[in-house]
Structure 1
Amino acid sequence: MRPSEQALYAVKDKFYDEGISVMDWARAHGFDAHLIYRTLSGRSRATEVKGIGLRWL
């Protein structure tokens, strides 16, 4: 099951509100930034990101 578009926007908003770039967050948490970008754009399932889904909100 893919995350809803609303959930993806909520994550993007959280990054923006906290002033954190996706690249910086990915590096700090040991993720490939391209995978995070694909997930946030809806092209990759969040569950494919090391099984974390959107729990890191």
Structure 2
Amino acid sequence: MEYGLHDVVQMKKPHPCGTNRWEIIRMGMDIKLKCLGCGHIVMLKRREFERKLKKILENA
């Protein structure tokens, strides 16, 4: 799946705040995501991110 910086993605499990929309704010060996519901920031290893990614909602 092709994804890039500032894309909005959907993960397999929703965030506890109830939203399932995340923005990619940093890419490298790790990927930093920002919840678009509450603003919480999470950092995942790229391999873990690709496993948990469901689909890309919006391209930047």
Q: TM-score normalised to the size of structure 1?
A: 0.27
Larger fraction in strand: 2
Larger fraction in helix: 1
Q: TM-score normalised to the size of structure 2?
A: 0.27
